[in-house]
Structure formats: structure tokens, C-alpha cells
């Protein structure tokens, strides 16, 4: 696929379909954070420019891609009053599936397997840890510094909670994916 | 510290600034913005739209200050700021707003096409350029200045733009929303300013009301900008202003054609300077070289190279013409027909090209991120409480262009010359 927006949309459809199959709500925050993981952990070239906000890594272009997919009738986007969040589902059973290459499809499988059981608050924490980990040069020894920085910016996450998140990401070999990507770039 | 200096700009009237801010404004890095137009060649459609990034940047500082002053007293979520920290943050936000565009290249966003590629394959953005220039080329205005009473550094401002964790202060991190979000000072200023200079009535919205109702709310435990119930309709106005400015100005057929010619001119100009891309701001030589580039330099080159097709198009209003366009929210049938027409022209060896609205830079908008604080409920997205915004569809128009000298042949091939008559 040559068009970046088509690739972004195909990725969102892939994520929404897998979440739907597992009967898990796929909302805006999940879309942003999983796109972040795909780009930073699984090296999927989505061309987003994530920067850090108080609510974690964010790029409004993810929302732009969702809006585009909705306007093209590829995704349904429904606001759920009960959860105060969006529910994004594929509008057509097979829309755009198969448009990604096998590596990209595998990356979506992997990111869903790794993160779909977590709530948005945990996704926010994990994505922030990954963001700061890379920012600090991908050094496991920086765990204290990472926890300190995140706690300063997001006091609602306790130091213990951040460290546990870091350890989980490390144990699942997810930080190694960032190491691998960054090493490849270097 | 008093504000002994004043400048008068369209839209906002008198804007005050102090000695230290004047030093930033008078710095060559900022003065260069006088020579970069906000809307590149939009004057081919709206002759008045010749305003510069210089004027806009001063406007953004003014709006950001109004937003800051409004939002702080009514946002209890901004905990931990005493009077001094708040005053420091105010000065910080003013500077960040003032300097946010110093990294724009010639023809504003048009130059980003030629930005160098990072190691990870992504292009550098004008924010990367702004951050690098402020950190390294404006250092003299930060260092050893008696007026810099709060010890603000260029690195901090760069961290603010790039969203780095080194920013430290969560409240300052929250203030990024004033400079880069759906309700930011940049957008508020450029909509009003572009509408003013284009002479169009539809880019306007009630800025005073938005300022009067703006606050931070807690969403998922993080502060987010929102308007109160009383600002609801002004926020709707902002969304509509954005939509109408997009369709009427930013995605106007003539502007799109001129942007393409301008991009080609810029590419040829860079080649004439032995450059494949814009100079890389990560090196001192790159930054110095970048600062030499502005609209004026490219205009001069254009005057010396009038025989080139793209230069001729821009100098004499002989830009490519739109031959066909879909509706703003096309059906699949329309899109298939559009693709078929493009193929027909290509088969007939007509040098056509197409543009899609969703590729345009201003399409990063996401109204779902604009919140309204209702009296007795948690804040909700404007798109859910407003039936007007809820009913809006993103613009996904496609346009097909041909060179002016092939317009008649193209019409014959398509047998349907409706596109250029709008």
C-alpha cells in the first residue's frame, strides 16, 4: 500500500476486528495507544508523530484516521454513554483486511495478544513507560529515573505501580522490541 | 515587570510585550518570519492573503496569554502552583507561543515535503526545526539576561514543543494543550487571521466567549482543555469555522494547484543550491544554512528562472486547472468514477494529477478531542453533545488537475467539462 492513510486505516480495522472478536471494547484511547505500540515496538511504519501529553503519548492524526475511516464507511464509531468512551468496530466484516502485508498483520496479532486485556489507564502507563524508556536511550538501568519522571508528570501513578509496569514490560520482552528497533535504526 | 512595548496587528489590535520578549522578536531567527507567508500562494485566490508568519506568531502569543490567564483561576486541577510558579509558566507559555513557528521553511508547510529523513524513516517536522533553532540559535537571548528572572531555557521550550518527559512540571505539560491541541492558540489565531486577510466571513468564531468559558477538566485523571456549557455554541462555531476554512481556503482548487507548483519550484531551487533536502537542523551548518532560506530567496530565484513551467504558472496565474472533483463526502461509486477519469486522461497522455483532502496537513483535526463540561455530568466530547458537530462528516474530496495548455484536450477526453466551472 502506498498511501499512508490507507495503511493507518487498515491497521485500525485490524485492531478493531480483533478486539471485537474477543468481545473487548475498542475505543479512541486504545486506538491511540495500540498504534503507538505498533509503531514503536513492532516497527510498523504508520508515520505518526507521538509526543508526550499528561495523558501519555498522543498524536491527533490517529483520530483523523478514525474519522476518515468512519466517513468512508469502513469503521463504525459509536459513543457509549455507560463507559463515557467510544466503541469502534469494523463497518463491514472484511473491510480492508488483507490490505496489510503478513508482517504487519502479525504485528497486529502480537500487539493485541500483549495488550488487549488491559484497561485504558494501564495502556496509558505502559505507553508512557515505553516512550520515556526510548527517550532515555533504552537503558534498563534507568528504571529509577523512568519511574521518577513519570511519577512527577503523572502523580496518579504511584512509584510502585510504574516500577511494576516497567518490570512487566521487561519480562514480556516488550522493551527488547524497542531496543531492537532503535539498534536497527542506529 | 511592565509591558513597555506595543504592536498593533489585525484581528487582536494592540499586543503588549516587554523588553525581553522584544529581544526575541528582534532576533534574526524571528525576524525571518516576516519573509515567510502564512498561506504561501493563496493570494492567487484571495489577493489579500499575503500576511506573514511574523504577524501570526505575535497573534498566537496574545491568544495563548488570554487562554492562560482565563484557564488558571478556574482550574483547580492545576495543583501545586504558587504565584511565582504560575508567573513563570505564564512567561514560558508566551515565549513558546511566540516562537512556535520559527522552524517553518519557505512557503510554510510546502517546505516540509523536502525535510530531511530521520534514521527511523520519518521526516523531520517544522516543530523539530523550531526546537533546534530555539535551543541553539537563540541561546544568547536566554543566557545571562537579567530579564530572564525565572531561568527559562531554550531546552525547556524545545521539550515543550516535542513533548519530552524532561519538561518535569505536570502543569506545564498540561499547558501544551494551549499550544498544540484542538483548542489551541495557534489554531484560534490562524483561523481568525486567515479569514480576515482572505476577506471571508466564515472563519470567524466567538473567541471572547471561548476564553470566557475555557477550563481544564479531569478526563481519565489527566487535565484536558474544555469549555463549559456556556461555551458550547462557540466551540461549535470553531468547528464550523475550521470546516469552512478548509473547504473555502485551505483546500481551494487554485491553492492546491499553486501549492503543487510551489513545491516543484522549491525542489528546483534547492537543487540550484546543491541541496537534495532542506538543510538538517541537527548540525550548526544546517541551521545556519536553513536560516538563509525564506520566501524572498525563492522569489528571487523564480524571477531569474521565468522560463520554467512551474515558475511561469505562479508568476502569471497560469497554474494547472481542476478538471474534475468529487463531492466533499464521495460515495464509492463517485470514487470509482473519479479513478476511471484519471485513467482515461493518463491513457490519452495528458499530464494529469490528483489530490485528496485527507492528505492535507490541516486534516489532523479530531473533533472527538474537544470537550464540553456540562453542569452535572463528566465532560463529554463536543461531537456527542452537539447534533451539529455529530452530523459533520470529514471532508474527503478528490480533485483532478491538468496543465492549463491541456485543459481543452482533457475536456474532450472526458466529455464532461464540469470540474473547472465551480
- The CATH number covering residue B370 comes to 3.30.70.1370
Measured between CA atoms, the residue of chain B closest to residue A48 is: B122
C-alpha cell at B411: 475536456
Q: Which positions in chain B touch A130 (Cβ < 8 Å)?
A: none
**Domain count of chain B?**
2
Is residue B223 scored above 60 in pLDDT?
yes
Is residue B351 assigned to a domain?
A: yes
Interface touch B396/A186, C-beta < 8 Å: no
Q: How much is the average pLDDT of B301-305?
A: 98
Whole-angstrom distance, CA of residue B218 vs CA of residue B77? 7
Is residue A2 packed enough to be buried (19+ CB in 10 Å), middle (13-18) or exposed (0-12)?
Answer: exposed
What is the CB neighbour count within 10 angstroms for residue B69?
12
Interface touch A52/B182, C-beta < 8 Å: no
> Dihedral sign, CA of B253, B254, B255, B261?
positive
Interface touch A64/B177, C-beta < 8 Å: no
Residues B196 and B340 in one domain: no
Q: How much is the average pLDDT of B15-44?
A: 97
In what helix (H) or strand (E) does residue A128 lie, and over which residues does it extend?
helix A120-135
Q: Does any CB of chain B come closer than 8 Å to the CB of residue A120? A: yes
The pLDDT tens digits of the residues spanning B57-101 come to: 999 999 999 999 999 998 877 777 888 999 999 999 999 999 999
Predicted local confidence at residue B384, as pLDDT = 86
Residues B230 and B345 in one domain: no
Is residue B284 assigned to a domain?
A: no
DSSP, collapsed to helix, strand or coil, labels residue A98 as coil
Whole-angstrom distance, CA of residue A2 vs CA of residue A99? 11
Q: Which positions in chain A touch B221 (Cβ < 8 Å)?
A: 121, 154, 156
The pLDDT tens digits of the residues spanning A105-152 come to: 999 999 999 999 999 999 999 999 999 999 999 988 899 999 999 999
Nearest-Cα distance to chain B for A137, in Å, is 13
Interface touch A124/B378, C-beta < 8 Å: no
Interface touch A63/B369, C-beta < 8 Å: yes
- Which one of A52, A60, A68 has the shortest CB-CB distance to B163? A52
Is residue B340 assigned to a domain?
A: yes
Spans of chain A below 50 pLDDT? 1-2, 96
Is residue B422 scored above 50 in pLDDT?
no
Range of the domain at B352: 320-422
Which of B386 and B394 is assigned the larger pLDDT? Answer: B386
Q: Which positions in chain B touch A76 (Cβ < 8 Å)?
A: none
Interface touch B358/A79, C-beta < 8 Å: no
Interface touch A153/B381, C-beta < 8 Å: no
User: How much of chain B, in percent, has pLDDT values that exceed 70?
Assistant: 95
Among the candidates B241, B267, B293, a domain finishes at B267
Predicted local confidence at residue B34, as pLDDT = 98
Does residue B100 contact residue B57 with C-beta atoms inside 8 Å? yes
The pLDDT tens digits of the residues spanning B41-57 come to: 999 999 999 999 999 99
Q: Does any CB of chain A come closer than 8 Å to the CB of residue B117? A: no
Interface touch B165/A52, C-beta < 8 Å: yes
Q: Which positions in chain B touch A63 (Cβ < 8 Å)?
A: 365-366, 368-369
C-alpha cell at A51: 509526543
Residues B253 and B336 in one domain: no
Determine which of A153, A166, A179, A186 to mutate to test the interface with B (most B C-beta atoms within 10 Å): A153
Q: Which positions in chain B touch A79 (Cβ < 8 Å)?
A: 381, 383-384
Among A147, A4, A11, A17, which Cα is nearest to A76's?
Answer: A17
Q: In the predicted model, what is the mean pLDDT of chain B? A: 92
- Which one of A45, A55, A131 has the shortest CB-CB distance to B222? A55
ipTM (interface pTM): 0.89
Is residue B286 assigned to a domain?
A: no
Is residue B287 assigned to a domain?
A: no
Whole-angstrom distance, CA of residue B112 vs CA of residue B157? 21
Does residue B226 contact residue B177 with C-beta atoms inside 8 Å? no
Q: Does any CB of chain A come closer than 8 Å to the CB of residue B165? A: yes
For chain A, which residues make up each domain, given as ranges? 4-185
Residues B107 and B191 in one domain: yes
DSSP, collapsed to helix, strand or coil, labels residue A143 as helix
Which of A5 and B13 is assigned the larger pLDDT? Answer: B13
8-state DSSP, A154: -
Nearest-Cα distance to chain B for A172, in Å, is 24
Interface touch A152/B224, C-beta < 8 Å: no
Q: Which positions in chain B touch A156 (Cβ < 8 Å)?
A: 221
Predicted local confidence at residue B362, as pLDDT = 47
Residues B199 and B99 in one domain: yes
Residues B226 and B353 in one domain: no
Whole-angstrom distance, CA of residue A167 vs CA of residue A146? 12
Measured between CA atoms, the residue of chain A closest to residue B120 is: A185
Interface touch A55/B369, C-beta < 8 Å: no
Predicted local confidence at residue A117, as pLDDT = 96
Q: Does any CB of chain B come closer than 8 Å to the CB of residue A47? A: yes
Give A144's contacts (C-beta < 8 A, 6+ positions apart). Answer: none
Q: How much is the average pLDDT of B243-266?
A: 96
Is residue B238 assigned to a domain?
A: yes
Residues B101 and B246 in one domain: yes
Quickly state the pLDDT bin for B120 (edges 50, 70, 90).
confident
Predicted local confidence at residue B361, as pLDDT = 46
Predicted local confidence at residue A64, as pLDDT = 87
Interface touch A150/B165, C-beta < 8 Å: yes
The pLDDT tens digits of the residues spanning B322-376 come to: 999 999 989 989 999 999 999 999 999 999 999 998 765 445 556 667 899 987 7
> Dihedral sign, CA of B397, B403, B407, B410?
negative
Is residue B220 scored above 70 in pLDDT?
yes
Residues B128 and B244 in one domain: yes
Is residue B301 assigned to a domain?
A: no
Q: Does any CB of chain A come closer than 8 Å to the CB of residue B199? A: no
Q: Which positions in chain A touch B170 (Cβ < 8 Å)?
A: 54, 152-155
Interface touch B182/A120, C-beta < 8 Å: no
Residues B232 and B324 in one domain: no
Quickly state the pLDDT bin for B39 (edges 50, 70, 90).
very high
Give B312's contacts (C-beta < 8 A, 6+ positions apart). Answer: B306, B318
Quickly state the pLDDT bin for B2 (edges 50, 70, 90).
low
Whole-angstrom distance, CA of residue B231 vs CA of residue B213? 5
Q: Which positions in chain A touch B117 (Cβ < 8 Å)?
A: none
- Which one of B122, B358, B384 has the shortest CB-CB distance to A79? B384
Nearest-Cα distance to chain B for A42, in Å, is 13
Is residue B283 assigned to a domain?
A: no
Nearest-Cα distance to chain B for A149, in Å, is 7
C-alpha cell at B195: 479569514
Nearest-Cα distance to chain B for A29, in Å, is 10
Q: Does any CB of chain A come closer than 8 Å to the CB of residue B125? A: yes
C-alpha cell at B52: 506573514
Q: Which positions in chain A touch B219 (Cβ < 8 Å)?
A: 55
Predicted local confidence at residue B284, as pLDDT = 98
Q: Which positions in chain A touch B381 (Cβ < 8 Å)?
A: 79
Count of pairs with CB atoms under 8 A, one residue in A, one in B: 108
Amino acid at each position: 500500500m502506498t498511501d499512508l492513510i490507507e495503511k493507518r486505516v487498515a491497521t485500525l480495522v485490524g485492531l478493531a476486528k480483533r478486539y471485537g472478536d474477543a468481545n473487548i471494547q475498542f475505543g479512541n484511547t486504545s486506538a491511540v495507544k495500540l498504534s503507538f505500540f505498533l509503531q514503536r515496538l513492532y516497527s510498523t511504519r504508520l508515520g505518526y508523530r507521538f509526543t508526550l501529553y499528561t495523558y501519555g503519548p498522543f498524536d491527533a492524526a490517529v483520530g483523523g484516521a478514525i474519522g476518515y475511516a468512519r466517513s468512508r464507511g469502513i469503521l463504525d464509531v459509536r459513543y457509549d454513554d455507560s463507559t463515557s468512551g467510544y466503541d469502534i468496530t469494523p463497518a463491514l466484516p472484511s473491510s480492508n483486511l488483507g490490505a496489510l502485508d503478513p508482517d504487519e498483520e502479525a504485528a497486529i496479532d502480537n500487539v493485541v495478544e500483549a495488550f488487549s486485556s488491559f484497561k485504558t489507564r494501564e495502556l496509558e502507563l505502559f505507553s508512557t513507560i515505553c516512550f520515556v524508556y526510548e527517550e532515555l536511550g533504552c537503558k534498563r538501568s534507568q528504571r529509577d529515573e523512568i519511574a521518577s519522571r513519570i511519577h512527577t508528570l503523572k502523580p496518579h501513578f504511584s512509584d510502585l505501580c510504574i516500577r511494576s509496569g516497567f518490570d512487566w514490560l521487561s519480562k514480556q520482552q516488550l522493551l527488547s522490541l524497542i531496543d531492537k528497533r532503535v539498534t536497527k535504526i542506529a | 515587570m511592565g509591558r513597555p512595548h506595543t504592536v498593533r496587528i489585525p484581528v487582536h489590535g494592540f499586543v503588549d510585550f516587554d523588553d525581553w520578549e522584544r529581544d526575541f522578536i528582534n532576533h534574526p531567527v524571528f525576524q525571518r518570519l516576516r519573509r515567510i507567508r502564512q498561506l504561501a500562494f493563496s493570494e492567487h485566490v484571495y489577493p489579500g492573503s499575503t500576511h506573514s508568519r511574523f504577524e501570526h506568531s505575535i497573534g498566537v502569543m496574545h491568544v495563548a496569554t488570554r487562554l492562560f490567564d482565563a484557564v488558571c483561576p478556574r482550574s483547580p486541577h492545576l495543583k501545586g502552583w504558587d504565584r511565582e510558579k504560575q508567573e513563570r509558566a505564564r512567561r514560558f507559555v508566551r515565549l513558546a507561543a511566540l516562537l512556535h513557528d520559527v522552524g517553518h521553511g519557505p512557503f510554510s508547510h510546502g517546505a516540509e515535503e523536502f525535510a530531511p529523513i530521520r534514521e527511523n524513516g520519518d521526516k523531520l517536522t517544522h516543530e523539530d526545526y523550531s526546537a533546534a533553532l530555539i535551543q541553539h540559535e537563540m541561546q544568547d537571548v536566554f543566557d545571562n539576561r537579567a530579564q530572564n528572572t525565572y531561568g527559562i531555557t531554550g531546552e525547556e521550550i524545545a521539550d515543550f514543543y516535542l513533548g519530552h518527559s524532561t519538561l518535569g512540571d505536570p502543569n506545564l505539560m498540561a499547558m501544551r494543550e494551549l499550544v498544540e491541541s484542538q483548542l489551541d492558540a495557534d489554531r484560534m489565531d490562524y483561523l481568525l487571521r486567515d479569514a480576515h486577510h482572505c476577506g471571508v466571513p466564515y472563519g470567524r468564531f466567538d473567541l471572547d466567549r471561548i476564553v470566557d468559558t475555557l477550563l481544564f477538566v479531569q478526563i481519565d485523571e489527566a487535565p484536558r482543555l474544555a469549555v463549559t456549557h456556556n461555551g458550547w455554541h462557540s466551540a461549535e462555531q470553531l468547528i464550523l469555522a475550521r470546516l469552512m476554512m478548509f473547504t473555502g481556503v485551505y483546500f481551494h482548487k487554485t491553492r492546491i494547484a499553486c501549492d503543487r507548483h510551489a513545491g516543484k519550484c522549491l525542489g528546483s531551487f534547492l537543487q540550484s543550491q546543491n541541496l537534495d533536502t532542506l538543510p538538517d537542523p541537527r548540525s550548526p551548518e544546517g541551521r545556519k544554512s536553513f536560516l538563509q532560506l525564506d520566501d524572498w530567496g525563492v522569489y528571487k530565484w523564480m524571477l531569474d528562472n521565468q522560463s520554467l513551467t512551474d515558475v511561469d504558472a505562479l508568476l502569471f496565474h497560469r497554474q494547472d486547472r481542476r478538471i474534475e472533483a468529487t463531492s466533499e463526502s464521495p460515495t464509492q461509486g463517485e470514487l470509482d468514477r473519479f479513478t476511471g477519469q484519471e485513467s482515461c486522461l493518463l491513457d490519452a497522455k495528458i499530464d494529469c494529477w490528483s489530490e485528496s483532502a485527507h492528505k492535507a496537513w490541516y486534516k489532523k483535526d479530531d473533533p472527538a478531542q474537544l470537550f464540553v463540561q456540562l453542569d452535572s455530568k463528566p465532560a463529554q466530547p463536543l461531537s456527542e453533545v452537539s447534533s451539529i458537530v455529530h452530523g459533520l462528516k470529514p471532508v474527503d474530496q478528490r480533485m483532478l488537475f491538468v496543465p492549463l495548455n491541456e485543459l481543452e484536450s482533457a475536456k474532450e477526453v472526458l466529455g464532461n467539462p464540469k470540474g473547472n466551472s465551480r
